[in-house]
Amino acid sequence: MKNKPIQVFEHQFLPLGGDFNKGHLEAFSKLNALHDDCYFDLRYNGLKFKNYVGVIQVDGLTIEILPKIDSHEEDKDLWQGVLIDMLKATKKLKVQQVGQANVSKQNIHLLDIYFEWFLREVELLIHQGLIKQYYKETSNVKALKGKLEFAGHIQKNLVHKERFYTTHQVYEKDHLIHQILDYALNIIEHFSKGTYLYSKCKYVQLDFPEVSSCHINHSTFSKLKNNRKTAPYKSALEIAKFIILQYAPNISSGDEKMLALLFDMNILWEEYVLVKLKQEAREIDDTEIFGQQSRTFWEGIKIRPDIVINRGEEIIVIDTKWKNIKYSKPSTQDLRQMYVYNDYWDSYKAVLLYPSENECAKPSFHPFDKKKHECGIGKINVLKGGKLNPEIGKTIIDWFSTEVE
C-alpha cells in the first residue's frame, strides 16, 4: 500500500521526517535541477516550496501542493477544491469525466484524477474501435512486396533464398498514436500500485493491443497528424502528452521513478481570471477581452499585459498577481510596468489585480505624476460560499461599468 499523501501549501517548508526521507529529498533536488530550480528551494533538512502547485510522486510518496492566500487559512480540502476548479475552468482538467464518487474518496489527489480521466478516455476509444494506420516497416518477408533493400537482402538472405528483405507498408494498430497511449498506460500502472486505479489500469491494458515500445519525448508529439480519423484521440493524446512529458524515470539514484504534475500558480490565476472575463463579456455589447496581446517594445523585445479590456472608446489594462498584498504596497517594478502598458495601449486606466479571501476592493485610481494615465489596486474574492468564486468576471466588469456610467 502507498503512504498517505502529504498535503502542503505553496511557499510552505516541509522538513525531513516520517515518510519524507533523504532519498526523496535527493530525487526532488535532481528534478528541480532539470527545471532550472523553479519548483522549490532546497534546504539541508527539507524543501521550501515556491509558487508551483500540483502533485509530485516518487517511490511511493505523494506530495500535493495546494494554493493559498492567507497564512491563517489552512483548510486543505477547501484549497484542493479551489485548485481542481481552476484547472477545470482553464481546461487543464475535465473533472466531469471522472467519477464524482472517486473524487471524494479519502486520500484522493490530482494524480489519481488525471489517471482516471485518461483511463476513461482510452476505455471510450476501445469501445468505439481503435483505428489502424499505414506505416513503413523494413524486415524479412516470405513474399516480395514493397521495395527490395538489395544490400540488406544480400547480407541477410544468402542462405534463405526463399525470403526477401524489403521496405513495405503495413496496415495495423501498432502505430505511433497507440505507442504513445501504451507508454502512458505503463506509467499509470507503475504509479497507481496500491490504489483503486491499479486494477482498472490492468483491465484497460488487457483490452489494449500489443504495440512496439519506443522512446517518446517532446518532438514525438510533433510527428502526429490530425485528421478526421484521429479526431476521437485528441483528449487522450493531450492527457498522455502531459503525463509523459512530466515523467522523469530514474531521476534519483537507484530505481525510483518520479512523476510531477505542477502548475505555476501565477499563470493559473491569470488564466482563470481571463476565462471568467471572456465568459461575462459574451453577454455585453461593445466589450472585448484579450489575453497576452503583445507589442514591440525595443529591438524586437515585446511586452505583454495579462489582460486587455476594450469597452468602446475605453481601454483598461489588467495585470494579475497571485500574492497577498494585505499589508504591503505594489513594487516599484510593477508600477513601472503598468505605466508602460498604459503608454503603449493608449489606456487611461491600468489595474494590478490581487486575490483576496474575504475582501473585494474596487480599484481606487491614482494618476502617475505629470501624466494623465492612472493605476489602481484591485482585490477580488477568490472564495464564495466555501468554494472558488465563479463570479470573478462579472465583478470586474461591473467595476468598470460603473466607471462608464
Domain of 361, CATH number, reads 3.40.1350
Whether 24 shows a pLDDT value over 70: the answer reads: yes
**If you average pLDDT over residues 22-43, what whole number do you get?**
87
**Residue 391 in grid coordinates:** 463570479
Residue with cell 467595476: 399
**Most confident of the ranges 155-159, 272-276, 286-290:** 272-276
In a domain, 274, yes or no: no
Distances (CA, A) of 66 to 7, 89, 101, 154, 242: 7, 17, 21, 63, 19
Q: Does residue 310 share a domain with residue 260?
A: no
Q: How far apart are CA 34 and CA 200, in angstroms?
A: 32
Q: Does residue 141 share a domain with residue 120?
A: no
Q: Does residue 216 share a domain with residue 125?
A: yes
Q: For the whole prediction, is pTM greater than 0.85?
A: no
Percent of the chain topping pLDDT 90: 39
**If you average pLDDT over residues 265-280, what whole number do you get?**
95
Contact 181, 126 (CB under 8 A): no
Percent of the chain topping pLDDT 70: 85
Domain count, the chain: 3
In a domain, 277, yes or no: no
Q: Does residue 213 share a domain with residue 79?
A: yes
pLDDT of residue 171: 58
Whether 48 shows a pLDDT value over 90: the answer reads: yes
Domain-ending residue, one of 238, 265, 292: 265
Q: How far apart are CA 122 and CA 235, in angstroms?
A: 9
Domain-ending residue, one of 142, 172, 202: 172
In a domain, 28, yes or no: yes
Radius of gyration of the CA atoms of the chain, in A:
26
pLDDT of residue 278: 94
9, HSE (Cβ side, Cα atoms, 13 Å): 16
Q: Does residue 349 share a domain with residue 374?
A: yes
Domain-ending residue, one of 172, 198, 229: 172
Q: Does residue 399 share a domain with residue 293?
A: yes
Q: Does residue 90 share a domain with residue 13?
A: yes
Contact 103, 49 (CB under 8 A): no
In a domain, 278, yes or no: no
Whether 201 shows a pLDDT value over 70: the answer reads: yes
In a domain, 36, yes or no: yes
Neighbouring-strand partners of residue 6: 63
Whether 110 shows a pLDDT value over 50: the answer reads: yes
Contact 307, 274 (CB under 8 A): yes
Q: Does residue 231 share a domain with residue 332?
A: no
Neighbouring-strand partners of residue 379: 354, 361
Q: How far apart are CA 360 and CA 272, in angstroms?
A: 17
Q: Does residue 181 share a domain with residue 98?
A: yes
Q: Does residue 154 share a domain with residue 255?
A: no
Whether 170 shows a pLDDT value over 70: the answer reads: no
Q: Does residue 159 share a domain with residue 12?
A: no
Q: Which range has the worst mean pLDDT, 67-81, 129-143, 343-357?
A: 129-143
Residue 100 pLDDT level (bands cut at 50, 70, 90): very low
Q: Does residue 116 share a domain with residue 103?
A: yes
In a domain, 270, yes or no: no
Mean pLDDT of the chain: 84
Q: Which range has the worst mean pLDDT, 87-96, 110-119, 147-156, 203-212?
A: 147-156
In a domain, 314, yes or no: yes
Structural domain of 204: 6-129+176-265
In a domain, 182, yes or no: yes
pLDDT of residue 327: 64
